[in-house]
Amino acid sequence: MTQPSIAPATFDVRAVVPGALTTLVLALVAGVVNQVLVDRGTIEEGSPLAFFFFLLIVLAGAVGGFVSGRRAPDSPLLHGAVASASAYLLVQGIGVIRRLIAGDPLNWLSYLYLAVLMATCGMLGALLANHRNRQEREHPGRTRKG
pLDDT tens digit sequence for 49-99 = 989 999 999 999 999 999 999 999 899 999 999 999 999 999 999 999 999
Amino acid found at 69: G
In this model, does residue 2 exceed pLDDT 60? no
DSSP reduced 3-state for 138: helix
Task: Kindly report the pTM of this predicted structure.
Answer: 0.86
In 3D space, the residue among 47, 49, 45, 79 whose CA is nearest the CA of residue 64 turns out to be 79
In this model, does residue 8 exceed pLDDT 80? no
Q: How far apart are CA 68 and CA 72, in angstroms?
A: 6
Q: Is there a contact between 84 and 95 (Cβ–Cβ < 8 Å)?
A: no
User: Which range scores top for mean pLDDT: 6-10, 60-64, 140-144?
Assistant: 60-64
Q: Is there a contact between 64 and 23 (Cβ–Cβ < 8 Å)?
A: yes
Mean pLDDT of all residues belonging to the chain = 91
For residue 107, what is the DSSP state? -
Q: How far apart are CA 57 and CA 45, in angstroms?
A: 15
pLDDT cut 70: percent of the chain above it: 91
Phi, psi values for residue 136, rounded to 5°: -70, -35
Give the per-residue pLDDT at 145.
59
- The mean-pLDDT minimum among 32-36, 82-86, 100-104, 141-145 falls in 141-145
Amino acid found at 98: R
Give the per-residue pLDDT at 144.
62
Based on its alpha-carbon atoms, the radius of gyration of the chain, rounded to whole angstroms, reads 18
Give the per-residue pLDDT at 146.
47
Q: Counting runs of H as helices and runs of E as strands, what totals does the chain give? A: 4, 0
